[in-house]
Structure 1
């Protein structure tokens, strides 16, 4: 049995190890199904925060390789229903064949880019080489880490959202997107950048999550010159990053970071 909550905030009982019980009010992060249709075909259902959905759909299409860097951004028509959001988009001309080859009809928890694929070859596809190079040094990474909380209003209220940020070479955060899913947040950021015509310009991406191989792939396909994550990477993530020439900075904390490869900078 499920219950429908009327308000954004819910009263919980906070219990301490000493047995003290206090009533506290918490705002809850929204998470709804987003059904994505391309060219009239149901492609995927993502569980996502219902904000910046057009950016999510555009970034997701890039991550799914349904469009390439040479394609112009497309418009997204959104329709709110009692069950969630239907997002409809038309891919650029000439992309129908790749759409049909990748179409799928199962729901996934987030825009991970693997749920529903039919075989291992589809799951681990070759990646292009990263061509961009970051101009950021270690001081820029620490500056961005220190400022990241100011760009997480949803997480500050709920404690339940990830953030993906575009950071300039000097460490200034230029743009950020939040979502309950780490994949969604990165897709939203990449989609927002594409819609604005923004490039990395020697900067980097900063994510409040572990460094999974799916996020590495999204970064590579967006030609991100440096991926920085708060938590640790998986072995596959490092292997995929090395193969594509993507530098990583992981376990990025205010007091230390781990750099992959031979990264210079003061």
Structure 2
């Protein structure tokens, strides 16, 4: 068995049964590739991800996981294709690398299960700083973005197997979309792309994020760490996600459709006139 390392989809010959008949066909499938994140020569994590937008992924992961505090602390990303996966060699600021090595020592010194290396709930879920945004959002803008969302998901249309995260401007215009087989990866890619665009254009952070997945606490955490004050999920949140959103001042909507949503935290930001 060989791995497909540098493409996001591949074609497979299949047999399908439909209307009582068997027939052969070609099916387009999403690829999962092992992606290793290597910081200053030291491997930190390996993720199964879609092999596209990898520089965005490296920056977004580094920011959302607190490895760096700002984009300028990631000096370079070198994408290296190996026989069994892809390595993202990230050069980061010395101070951040020292902190990362200390964190790794803490994790290695703990035993047990679950959120290893964490001594408290706050440390384990890394509650983001409280959002101070005064932004409000029209329900009509959310509806407009949800209506347009499917057409932006190229990989999903091809394979039916990927998640997407989109950054939406206040008027409901979808500004950028990133896709991946993993919902967290898609959001990390979006965060990285969004941060690069901010650095380049000075874009104000007054939009919101849509995810095609459920809203776990990690999704809330990554959104809040990116400084975005509204996360719209098409599926349900978890209880911990809601508590984290309430605590950090994030507006969290679940079960979002073109004609409905459920506000789980800070619904006062949504204008329904």
Is 1:225 the counterpart of 2:225 in the alignment? no
Q: Deviations over 1:45-70 (max 9, x none)?
A: 01100001111011111111111147
Per the TM alignment, residue 35 of structure 1 is displaced from its structure 2 partner at its CA by 0.8
Range moving further from structure 2, 185-194 or 88-97: 88-97
Q: Report what 1:265 is aligned to.
A: 271
**Structure 1 portions without partners, runs of 5+:** 107-113
- The range that moved more, 157-166 or 64-73, is 64-73
Q: Which residue of 1 aligns with 2:27?
A: 26
Question: How far apart in 2 are the matches of 1:199 and 1:213?
Answer: 26
| Matches of 2:157 and 2:175, distance apart in 1 | 19
Q: How far apart are residue 149 of structure 1 and its match?
A: 1.4
**Corresponding position: 1:207 with 2:206:** no
Q: How does 1:49-64 map to 2 (within 5 A)?
A: 49-64=50-65
Q: Does 1:249 align with 2:253?
A: yes
| Greater fraction strand | 2
| Aligned 1:66-105 pairs, distance under 5 A | 66-69=67-70, 71-103=72-104
Contact 1:37–1:44 (CA under 8 A) maintained in structure 2 = yes
Q: What TM-score results when the alignment is normalised by the length of structure 2? A: 0.85
1:36 aligns with 2:41: no
Give the conservation status (yes or no) of the 8 Å contact 1:57–1:191.
yes
Give the number of equivalent residue pairs: 255
Structure 1 132/74 Cα, relative in aligned 2: closer, same or farther at 3 Å?
A: farther
1:145-156 equivalence runs, <5 A: 145-156=146-157
Instruction: Return 5+ residue gaps in structure 2 as ranges.
Output: 108-112
Distance in 2 between residues matched to 1:115 and 1:49, nearest whole Å: 26
The 8 Å contact of residues 208 and 230 in structure 1, kept in 2 or not, is answered as: yes
Partner of 2:110: none
Provide the rounded CA distance (Å) in 2 between the counterparts of 1:40 and 1:251: 42
The equivalences for 1:123-134 within 5 A come to 123-134=124-135
> What is the distance in 1 between the residues matched to 2:195 and 2:234?
24
